[in-house]
Amino acid sequence: MAYSDKVIDHYENPRNVGSYDKSDETVGTGMVGAPACGDVMKLQIKVNESGVIEDAKFKTYGCGSAIASSSLLTEWVKGKTLDQAREIKNTAIAEELELPPVKVHCSVLAEDAIKAAIEDYQSKQSD
Partner 1 sequence: MSNRKLPVYLDYSATTPVDPRVAELMCSYLTPDGNFGNPASRSHEYGWEADKAVAQARAQVAALINADPKEIVWTSGATESDNLAIKGVAHFYKKKGKHIITCKTEHKAVLDTCRQLEREGYEVTYLDPQSNGLIDLGKLKAAMRDDTILVSIMHVNNEIGVIQDIKAIGEMTRERGIIFHVDGAQSAGKVPIDIQDLKVDLMSFSAHKIYGPKGVGALYVRRKPRIRLEAQMHGGGHERGMRSGTLAVHQIVGMGEAFRLAKEEMAAENERLLMLRNRLWDGLKDMEEVYLNGDLEQRVAANLNISFNFVEGESLIMAVKDLAVSSGSACTSASLEPSYVLRALGRSDELAHSSIRFSFGRFSTIEDVDYAISLMRDKVEKLRELSPLWEMYKEGVDLSKVQWAAH
- 37 counts as catalytic: yes
**Distance in angstroms (rounded) separating the CA atoms of residues 60 and 101:** 20
Sign, Cα dihedral of 42, 43, 49, 51: negative
Work out whether 20 is an interface residue with partner 1 (CB under 8 A): no
Cβ(109)–Cβ(34) below 8 Å: no
Among 10, 27, 39, 80, contact with partner 1 (rule: CB under 8 A) = 39
Site for partner 1 in 52-111 (CB under 8 A): 59-64, 66-67, 102-103, 105, 108-109
Q: What's the residue count for the chain?
A: 127
Q: What does the alpha-carbon distance between residue 60 and residue 74 come to, in Å, rounded to a whole number?
A: 12
Nearer to partner 1, 80 or 105 (CB): 105
Q: What angle, 0 to 180 degrees and rounded to 10, lies between the N-to-C axes of helices 104-126 and 90-97?
A: 140
Work out how close the CB of 91 gets to partner 1 at its nearest, in angstroms, rounded to a whole number: 17
Catalytic, out of 19, 37, 38, 87: 37
Contact yes or no for 72/90 (Cβ under 8 A): no
Q: Which of 24, 38, 75, 87 binds partner 1 (CB under 8 A)?
A: 38
* d(C-alpha 127, C-alpha 118), whole Å: 15
Active site residue 106: yes
| Residue placing its CB nearer to partner 1 in the complex, 7 or 82 | 7
Q: Which residues are catalytic?
A: 37, 106
Question: Residue numbers of the site for partner 1 (CB under 8 A)?
Answer: 1, 3, 11, 14, 17, 19, 31-42, 59-64, 66-67, 102-103, 105, 108-109, 112
